[in-house]
């Protein structure tokens, strides 16, 4: 695919952020006495039109602290098939699209360390916009961690628009909810979509969301990764992971987008926990 200046700038940032995050997560494993590292697998996407459809790189690490963490980047483009185009912002009249982004999910070995999700992306149809966010998913919530996570995201938002944090926090609360259980997936964060208008300003905000995540989440991991835990804590962690899997398979828009656009199935489903229980 031939990328324009905006598409190249977004892709470059997401790949840079991937490298920074993976290096930090590997450093945490070193601190825990583990030599675990990310394994990377590149994949290519075949567009239904027959034109080159882009691809991505799936990165997965299984270590002493990170039981399973996936950090994926992808840059894809082509044509949406059938009715799916009408569900995407700006694609109803013209089904051609471009998408680039980073997606991260970490499931932790210690139940006291919260799982986490972070995704930011740039899409282009007849419109161009950024979306994404980050949310904390502790099996055993700790108020200090929740407050730290939200305060760091709030600071990132406030540097751009004081209205961002309350709006995007509420969006996350509404989105990361499991209706059939009547519970939220975690303790929230921020979620935004269709951020469009000034490309440079929107990219800068998206970059600050990524930097805020890189600042706060490793700090929380280091704070909790050595805490002792019991079998009852593991049981609660695995039951919570079942709820996480339910949300991602039933309600998550990113999962649906990846599957509908011919993405790499293993990369799309890397968000699922390594071990979970139900009932």
For 125-165, write each residue's pLDDT tens digit.
Answer: 999 999 999 999 999 999 999 999 999 999 999 999 999 99
DSSP H or E stretch at residue 221? helix 199-224
pLDDT of residue 279: 75
Supply 157's token pair. 């938002």
pLDDT of residue 50: 77
Residue 42 and residue 55 in contact, taking contact as beta carbons nearer than 8 Å: yes
pLDDT of residue 249: 93
The contacts of residue 60 (CB under 8 Å, 6+ apart) are: 38, 39, 68, 69, 70, 270
For 207-222, write each residue's pLDDT tens digit.
Answer: 999 999 999 999 999 9
The contacts of residue 105 (CB under 8 Å, 6+ apart) are: 69, 70, 115, 116, 117, 270, 271
The contacts of residue 195 (CB under 8 Å, 6+ apart) are: 129, 130, 131, 202, 205, 206
pLDDT of residue 47: 79
Structural domains of the chain, ranges and CATH numbers in brackets? 5-271 (3.40.1500.10)
Residue 107 falls in the annotated catalytic set: no
The secondary structure of 249-264 as a DSSP string is: HHT-HHHHHHHHTT--
- 3-state secondary structure (DSSP) of residue 225: coil
Among residues 107, 112, 117, 150, the one annotated as catalytic is: 117
* % of the chain with per-residue pLDDT over 90: 81
pLDDT of residue 93: 86
For the chain, which residues score pLDDT lower than 50?
A: none
Supply 156's token pair. 């990132």
User: For residues 157 and 206, what is the distance between their CA atoms, to the nearest angstrom?
Assistant: 10
For 39-52, write each residue's pLDDT tens digit.
Answer: 999 999 887 777 77
Backbone conformation region of residue 85, classed left if phi is above 0, alpha if psi is from -120 to 50, else beta: alpha
Find, among 90, 71, 67, 69, the residue nearest to 80 by Cα. 90
The contacts of residue 131 (CB under 8 Å, 6+ apart) are: 120, 121, 123, 192, 193, 194, 195
The contacts of residue 215 (CB under 8 Å, 6+ apart) are: 152
User: For residues 104 and 187, what is the distance between their CA atoms, to the nearest angstrom?
Assistant: 17
pLDDT of residue 149: 98
Residue 191 and residue 133 in contact, taking contact as beta carbons nearer than 8 Å: yes
């Amino acid at each position: 695919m031939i990328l324009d200046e905006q598409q190249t700038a977004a892709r470059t940032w997401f790949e840079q952020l991937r490298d920074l995050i993976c290096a930090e997560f590997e450093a945490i494993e070193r601190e825990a006495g583990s030599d675990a590292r990310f394994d990377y697998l590149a994949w290519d996407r075949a567009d239904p039109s027959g034109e080159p459809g882009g691809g991505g790189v799936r990165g997965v690490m299984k270590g002493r602290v990170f039981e399973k963490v996936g950090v994926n980047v992808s840059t894809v483009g082509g044509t949406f098939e059938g009715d799916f185009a009408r569900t995407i912002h700006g694609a109803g009249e013209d089904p051609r699209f471009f998408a680039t982004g980073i997606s991260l999910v970490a499931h932790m070995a210690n139940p006291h360390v919260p799982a986490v999700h972070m995704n930011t992306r740039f899409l282009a149809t007849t419109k161009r916009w950024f979306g994404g966010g980050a949310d904390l998913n502790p099996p055993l919530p700790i108020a200090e961690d929740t407050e730290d996570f939200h305060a760091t995201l709030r600071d990132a938002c406030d540097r751009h628009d004081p209205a961002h944090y309350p709006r995007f926090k509420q969006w996350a609360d509404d989105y990361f909810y499991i209706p059939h259980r009547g519970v939220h997936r975690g303790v929230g964060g921020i979620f935004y979509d269709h951020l469009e208008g000034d490309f440079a300003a929107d990219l800068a905000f998206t970059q600050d969301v990524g930097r805020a995540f890189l600042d706060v989440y490793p700090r929380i991991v280091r704070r909790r990764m050595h805490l002792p835990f019991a079998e009852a804590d593991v049981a609660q962690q695995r039951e919570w992971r079942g709820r996480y899997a339910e949300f991602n398979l039933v309600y998550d828009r990113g999962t649906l987008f990846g599957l509908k656009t011919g993405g790499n199935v293993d990369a799309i489903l890397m968000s699922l926990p390594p071990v979970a229980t139900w009932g």
